[in-house]
Amino acid sequence: MRIGVLGAGQLGRMLALAGYPLGVHCVFLDRNSDAPTAGLGRLMVGGFDQPERLAELAGEVEVLTFDVENVPAAALRAAGVEPLCRPGLLALETAQDRLAEKRCFESLEIEVAPYRTVDSAADLQAALKTVGYPAVLKTRRLGYDGRGQRFIHHPEQAAAALRELGGIDLILEGFVPFEREVSLLGVRSPRGAMAFYPLSENHHAQGILRLSRSPAPNSALAETAREKVERLLVHFDYAGVLAVEFFESEGRLIANEMAPRVHNSGHWSIEGAVTSQFENHIRAILDLPLGRTDALGSSAMVNLIGEIPALGDLLAIPGLHLHTYDKAARERRKLGHATLVAPDDQSLEIPLKQLLRLTAGQR
Amino acid sequence: MRIGVLGAGQLGRMLALAGYPLGVHCVFLDRNSDAPTAGLGRLMVGGFDQPERLAELAGEVEVLTFDVENVPAAALRAAGVEPLCRPGLLALETAQDRLAEKRCFESLEIEVAPYRTVDSAADLQAALKTVGYPAVLKTRRLGYDGRGQRFIHHPEQAAAALRELGGIDLILEGFVPFEREVSLLGVRSPRGAMAFYPLSENHHAQGILRLSRSPAPNSALAETAREKVERLLVHFDYAGVLAVEFFESEGRLIANEMAPRVHNSGHWSIEGAVTSQFENHIRAILDLPLGRTDALGSSAMVNLIGEIPALGDLLAIPGLHLHTYDKAARERRKLGHATLVAPDDQSLEIPLKQLLRLTAGQR
């Protein structure tokens, strides 16, 4: 069986690696001919906006799925490949636009932070009055890893933030004074089977995920999160893995954003869960039975950003699982991750400290 | 980093899959251009007896290792690549010849079944007198999966067995009335670090491994097996994974044979141990720190032979991990394997019964 993957980054790489044992092979479409998936399935070089390339890819595979969510839905429709897309285009388009996403969350009674759309300086002034300080001005589209965001703590920061983000198609969000950030991944197959991973606790630095712990210590809200993700899966008649990020604030979960694909905060599942998010995404989009999602213990996943420490140092940490992405080193770039799995949170402490020491100062 | 692999079968395939996350890439040499490793690293098409191909491969990689053990050591020496071989050629040559292997075991005080070399009908008559009935006549070289073996229960079976196996370069082994077959895998790096997997209990049918349970239930002899494998690792100044098969008989372990490579009875370690045999083989031959070898629970590995059941049926078994090898179906051919991991032997029973039912009648 063959699946087409739009984008050939590290998520595509790990999908391909999960596919081989199932006899499932990936064909990738990406502009970058030197992608992290190199050697792991045929790579078609081209843009997502080229209907002829999309149609060519679709002709070779049984379903199409996504390594990135910023794929133009119009091009997919023009190429006539919409019926092959898993997840479907409604989920994709909703996740691409912060406004559509928030409205979708609200329609499903999933709480979000207060927000206002901003398309001018006047809009921003009005929005700041409603939302209050501090607030975060964000582009509606194409933001990732903290890009396309500006904090506004004082009125005098407003004009610069507006200018830097382009002045239009923005959204102002009230800052939620959260205790922590968490995420939950659900997976659904076309026949309606669903499974949910444990809640993950996520720590970011400079907008990039650094550390994720799963199951999140003290995850009293896991069931609440699970219900919210389930509502989204059903709403979209979803196929594949869906990740939803939340702020945890005074016993409540406030949805931040969703990703209609496998997610960085689920990388721990390769070793830490019975079935990895990558294998379950493949099972789901091919409508095969889903695999069990229970955790095998306590996991910690640390991203390797900007550089990968010496292999000998990393692998000397007992029980460490390394995942490099074969990407050229560059500041703020995710080059790999490392996962530790232990029977409980306490036995995770020593190796996790070693790993955090080894990766301290990464940027 | 790049490693050269002689042979591109399922073991090479799983080595390649374990290499990617470490940033280690395989280059394969095999006569078969449609090998199970296809798409998982460059495949050089050629024979192991072609020194120029071996030298070409060696020029591209840091070390050479083996998917199969029947590689002619003379060709490796002629190509000048012996220093790159991990494990080294002494281990390889010893494992290729049942006589050399038995003598090596004996020199290290590792008990073997009684045996006599046989190069003629007269030899066989004399050997049968010493060894007794039943006995097994085997070719000294190139036997695998039960091939190159004939049972002799009665004197009148001797002549046919001798003729069928070629009459020369044979060995007659006394049949050990064993309670079960077990195996133990050790791994050693050039710097001398060693680690050992738990004992596995192996069930064969028609000479082919069908089911392997790890850790073997009631593995009172695990420590004894570990010591024997350690003696071999040190003797050969070994690098990589070494598998040794034993008969368990009245509280004793009688060495049957060894394989100087990753081994079918270690496939469970992909999900059932902290570090898989494939990753540890790579770590070892590159002299990186070895990974932990402890079991995560009770594992059962079932080979898929001759045909692979429907994917939907296999994946519906809770917690099942499937590994296909992308090989064309053929009788008596290993096409894949499936692994179950449970907290204990008892919780393994129900899914294992389902899996055995699904694969019953395979040949």
For A214-231, the pLDDT digits (tens) are: 999 988 999 999 999 999
Question: Of the candidates B22, B308, B316, which has its C-beta nearest A324's C-beta?
Answer: B22
Average pLDDT on A183-191 reads 98
* B45 contacts chain A (CB < 8 A): no
Distance (Å) from the C-alpha of residue B340 to the closest C-alpha of chain A?
10
- C-alpha separations of B70 from B41, B140, B252, B279, B289 in Å: 22, 12, 30, 22, 28
Identify whether the C-beta of residue A239 lies closer than 8 Å to the C-beta of residue A188. Answer: yes
- DSSP H stretches of helix in chain A: 10-19, 51-58, 73-78, 89-96, 98-107, 121-131, 158-164, 222-235, 269-272, 277-285, 311-315, 345-359
* A146 contacts chain B (CB < 8 A): no
pLDDT for position A144: 65
Using CA coordinates, name the residue in chain A closest to B279: A321
CA distance A17 to A165: 38
The helix/strand/coil state of A33 is coil
Picking from A311, A314, A317, A335 by the largest number of B CB atoms within 10 A of its own CB, the best residue to mutate is A311
CB contact under 8 A, B283 and A20: no
For B281, the token pair is: 């083989």
Using CA coordinates, name the residue in chain B closest to A18: B17
Identify whether the C-beta of residue A249 lies closer than 8 Å to the C-beta of residue A179. Answer: yes
Distance (Å) from the C-alpha of residue B341 to the closest C-alpha of chain A?
9
CA distance B237 to B251: 29
Identify whether the C-beta of residue A238 lies closer than 8 Å to the C-beta of residue A192. Answer: no
CB contact under 8 A, B315 and A283: yes
Indicate the length of chain B as a whole number: 363
Phi and psi of B308, rounded to 5°?
-105, 125
CA distance A233 to A247: 20
Average pLDDT on A199-224 reads 94
Identify whether the C-beta of residue A216 lies closer than 8 Å to the C-beta of residue A298. Answer: no
Q: Which H/E stretch holds residue A117?
A: strand A115-118
pLDDT for position A145: 64
- C-alpha separations of B61 from A309, B24, B58, B98, B357 in Å: 22, 10, 5, 31, 44
CA distance B332 to B30: 21
Using CA coordinates, name the residue in chain A closest to B27: A39
Using CA coordinates, name the residue in chain A closest to B327: A23
CA distance A87 to A73: 12
Identify whether the C-beta of residue A185 lies closer than 8 Å to the C-beta of residue A140. Answer: no
* B281 contacts chain A (CB < 8 A): no
The string over B175-184, giving b where at least 16 C-beta atoms fall within 10 Å of a residue's C-beta and e elsewhere, is bbebeebbbb
With contacts defined as CB-CB under 8 Å, which chain B residues touch A308? 23
- C-alpha separations of B22 from A67, A179, B19, B164 in Å: 21, 35, 5, 47
pLDDT for position A122: 92
Using CA coordinates, name the residue in chain B closest to A26: B39
What residues in chain B have per-residue pLDDT under 70? 143-146
Q: What is the pLDDT of residues A136-162, one digit of tens each?
A: 999 998 766 667 889 999 989 988 988
pLDDT for position A168: 84
Choose between B330 and A168: higher pLDDT. Answer: B330
What is the amino acid identity at position B141? R
Q: What is the pLDDT of residues A277-320, one digit of tens each?
A: 999 999 999 999 999 999 999 999 999 999 999 999 999 999 99
Asked if residue A7 has pLDDT above 90, the reply is yes
What radius of gyration do chain B's Cα atoms show? 20
Look-up of token digits 């133990």: B184
With contacts defined as CB-CB under 8 Å, which chain A residues touch B284? none
Selection from B286, B21, B17, B38 nearest residue A326 by Cα: B21
Question: Of the candidates A25, A312, A320, which has its C-beta nearest B39's C-beta?
Answer: A25
For B129, the token pair is: 């007198």
Helix axis angle for B10-19 and B277-285, nearest 10°, is: 70
Neighbours of B146 (CB within 10 A): 13
* A23 contacts chain B (CB < 8 A): yes
Pairing verdict, β A240-249 and A180-188? antiparallel
With contacts defined as CB-CB under 8 Å, which chain A residues touch B319? 274, 291-292
Burial class (CB in 10 A: 0-12, 13-18, 19+), A332: middle
Using CA coordinates, name the residue in chain A closest to B315: A289
pLDDT for position B146: 65
Pairing verdict, β B170-174 and B135-139? antiparallel
Identify whether the C-beta of residue B73 lies closer than 8 Å to the C-beta of residue B89. Answer: yes
Selection from A67, A15, A10 nearest residue A328 by Cα: A10
Q: What is the mean pLDDT of chain A?
A: 94
* B148 contacts chain A (CB < 8 A): no
CB contact under 8 A, B40 and A20: yes
HSE, side-chain direction, 13 A CA sphere, residue A13: 23
Question: Of the candidates B291, B319, B320, which has its C-beta nearest A315's C-beta?
Answer: B291
HSE, side-chain direction, 13 A CA sphere, residue A244: 33
Q: Dump the DSSP string for A202-229.
A: EEEETTEEEEEEESPTT-TTHHHHHHHH
Q: What's the whole-model pTM score?
A: 0.95
Identify whether the C-beta of residue A48 lies closer than 8 Å to the C-beta of residue A71. Answer: yes
With contacts defined as CB-CB under 8 Å, which chain A residues touch B296? 296
CA distance A275 to A291: 5
Identify whether the C-beta of residue B222 lies closer than 8 Å to the C-beta of residue B239. Answer: no
Question: Of the candidates B23, B308, B312, which has its C-beta nearest A288's C-beta?
Answer: B312
CA distance A21 to B256: 31
The string over B277-312, giving b where at least 16 C-beta atoms fall within 10 Å of a residue's C-beta and e elsewhere, is bbbbbbbbbbbbbbbebebbbbbbbbbbbbbbbebe
pLDDT for position A82: 96
Measure the CA angle with vertex A319, ends A314 and A320; round to 5°. 35
Q: Which H/E stretch holds residue A37?
A: none
pLDDT for position A247: 96
**Residue A255 confidence class, pLDDT cut points 50, 70, 90:** very high
pLDDT for position B61: 98
**Residue A274 confidence class, pLDDT cut points 50, 70, 90:** very high
For A181, the token pair is: 């950030």
pLDDT for position B70: 87
Q: DSSP secondary-structure letter at A167?
A: S
Report all structural domains of chain B as residue ranges with CATH numbers, in order of start. Answer: 2-85 (3.40.50.20), 114-174 (3.30.1490.20), 180-359 (3.30.470.20)
CB contact under 8 A, B17 and A22: no
CB contact under 8 A, A23 and B324: yes
pLDDT for position B339: 98
The string over A130-139, giving b where at least 16 C-beta atoms fall within 10 Å of a residue's C-beta and e elsewhere, is ebeeebbbbb
Distance (Å) from the C-alpha of residue B325 to the closest C-alpha of chain A?
7
CB contact under 8 A, A22 and B324: yes
CB contact under 8 A, B23 and A289: no
Identify whether the C-beta of residue A229 lies closer than 8 Å to the C-beta of residue A244. Answer: yes
Selection from B261, B356, B258 nearest residue B300 by Cα: B356
Sign of CA dihedral A147, A151, A157, A158: positive
A-B contacts (CB, under 8 Å)? 72
**Residue A84 confidence class, pLDDT cut points 50, 70, 90:** very high
With contacts defined as CB-CB under 8 Å, which chain B residues touch A341? 274
Q: HEC states along chain B?
A: CEEEEECCCHHHHHHHHHHHHHCCEEEEEECCCCCCCCCCCEEEECCCCCHHHHHHHHCCCCEEEECCCCCCHHHHHHCCCHHHECCCHHHHHHHHCHHHHHHHHHHCCCCECCEEEECCHHHHHHHHHHHCCCEEEEECCCCCCCCCEEEECCHHHHHHHHHHCCCCCEEEEECCCCCEEEEEEEEECCCCCEEECCCEEEEEECCEEEEEEECCCCCCCHHHHHHHHHHHHHHCCCCEEEEEEEEEECCEEEEEEEECCCCHHHCCHHHHECCCHHHHHHHHHCCCCCCCCCECCEEEEEEEECCCCCHHHHHCCCCCEEEECCCCCCCCCEEEEEEEEECCHHHHHHHHHHHHHHHCCCC
